[in-house]
C-alpha cells in the first residue's frame, strides 16, 4: 500500500468515479432507477430523501441503496439523508446523462421506426440523430419524425461528420453482425441490440440485448 486510506477517501468523496467501467451492470441499472425516482421527487418539490425512502419506492433494501451510492462518493448527510437535487445531479453526471448523448438507429422497419420516435428517449434527454435503412424512402414513410433517414451505405460518411455514442440495432437478424462490424470500425462503443442475434464485438465495446421474444418466453414459464 503506497497511499494511505485518508487519501483514497479524499479522492472519492469529491464524487470521482472509481475504476469506472468495472461497475456491475446491476448497479448501473439501479443508478438509473434512482435517477428516475429523484426526478419525480424533485418535480414534487421534495428536497431530501433517505436511503430507506428510496429503497421502498423501488422495492430494494436500504443498505443496497447506500452501498450503491457510496461507490461513487459521499453524497449523504448522516442523520439527514440525501439532498434530492444534488444527488440527482451527481447520478446524472456518473451515468453521463448530464451531457448530450447521441444516438443513431439502424433498421427503420416496424420496430425501428417506433423506437426512433419513442418519446421516452427524448424525455430522458437523449438525442436521436439519424436513422439508417437499406430502403430509406420506404423507411421514411413508416416513421413520423423529422429525424433524417439515410441509406445504410452512408453510415461511414455520417458518423465521420459527427461521432455518435450509442447505436440502436433494429435490423433483420442476418444483418446484425455485418452492421456491428462497421459500427465498431467507426468507433461506436455501445450498441443496443434489438435483434436476437448474438453479436461479436471486441473487448471494450458494450452491447446490451433487448430480446423481445425472450421476455415473453420467460414469462410463459411462470404462467403455465
Partner DNA sequence: TAGATTGTTAATCGATTAACAATC
Interacting residue with a copy of itself among 85, 134, 140, 192 (CB under 8 A): 192
Give the separation between CA 221 and CA 200, rounded to whole angstroms.
29
Q: How far is the CB of 82 from DNA (least distance, A)?
A: 6
213 part of the interface to a copy of itself, by CB under 8 A: yes
- Out of 166, 175, 177, 181, which residue is the one contacting a copy of itself (CB under 8 A)? 166
- Could you say whether residue 58 binds a copy of itself (CB under 8 A)? yes
Among 32, 39, 62, 158, binds DNA (CB under 7 A): 62
Torsion of CA 65, 66, 71, 72, to 10 degrees: 90
Beta bridge partners of 49: 82
Burial environment of residue 71 by CB neighbours within 10 A (0 to 12, 13 to 18, 19 or more)? middle
Per-residue interface string for the shown chain with DNA, residues 68-87, x marking contact by CB under 7 A: -xx---xxxxxxxxx-----
The verdict on 200 binding DNA (CB under 7 A) reads no
The set of long-range contacts for 171-176, using a CB threshold of 8 Å and a minimum separation of 24, is 171/106, 171/107, 171/109, 171/112, 171/195, 172/107, 172/109, 173/197, 175/107
Query: 80 or 222, CB closer to a copy of itself?
Result: 222
Q: Return the SS3 of 208.
A: strand
What 3-state DSSP class applies to 78? coil
Q: Contact at 8 Å (CB) between 95 and 47?
A: no
Q: 68-107: which residues touch a copy of itself (CB under 8 A)?
A: 94-97, 99, 101, 103
List binders of a copy of itself among 110-149 (CB under 8 A). Answer: 110-111, 113-115, 117-121, 123-124, 126, 144
Rule CB under 8 A: which residues touch a copy of itself? 20-21, 23, 25, 28-29, 31-33, 35-36, 57-59, 94-97, 99, 101, 103, 110-111, 113-115, 117-121, 123-124, 126, 144, 165-166, 189-192, 196, 198, 206, 208, 210, 212-224
Amino acid at each position: 500500500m503506497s497511499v494511505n486510506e485518508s487519501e483514497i477517501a479524499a479522492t472519492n468523496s469529491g464524487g470521482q468515479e472509481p475504476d469506472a467501467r468495472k461497475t456491475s451492470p446491476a448497479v448501473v441499472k439501479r443508478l438509473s432507477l434512482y435517477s428516475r425516482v429523484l426526478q419525480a421527487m424533485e418535480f414534487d418539490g421534495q428536497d431530501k430523501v433517505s436511503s430507506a425512502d428510496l429503497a421502498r419506492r423501488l422495492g430494494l433494501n436500504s443498505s443496497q441503496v447506500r452501498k450503491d451510492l457510496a461507490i461513487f462518493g459521499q453524497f449523504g448527510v448522516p442523520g439527514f439523508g440525501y439532498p434530492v437535487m444534488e444527488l440527482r445531479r451527481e447520478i446524472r453526471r456518473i451515468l453521463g446523462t448530464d451531457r448530450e448523448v447521441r444516438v443513431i438507429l439502424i433498421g427503420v422497419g416496424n420496430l425501428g421506426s417506433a423506437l426512433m420516435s419513442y418519446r421516452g428517449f427524448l424525455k430522458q434527454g437523449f438525442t436521436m440523430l439519424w436513422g439508417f435503412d437499406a430502403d430509406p424512402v420506404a423507411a421514411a414513410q413508416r416513421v413520423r419524425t423529422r429525424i433524417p433517414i439515410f441509406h445504410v451505405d452512408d453510415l461511414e460518411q455520417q458518423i465521420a461528420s459527427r461521432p455518435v455514442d450509442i447505436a440502436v440495432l433494429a435490423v433483420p437478424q442476418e444483418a446484425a453482425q455485418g452492421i456491428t462490424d462497421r459500427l465498431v470500425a467507426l468507433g461506436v462503443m455501445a450498441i443496443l441490440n434489438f435483434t436476437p442475434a448474438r453479436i461479436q464485438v471486441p473487448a471494450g465495446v458494450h452491447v446490451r440485448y433487448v430480446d423481445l421474444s425472450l421476455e415473453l418466453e420467460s414469462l410463459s414459464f411462470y404462467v403455465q
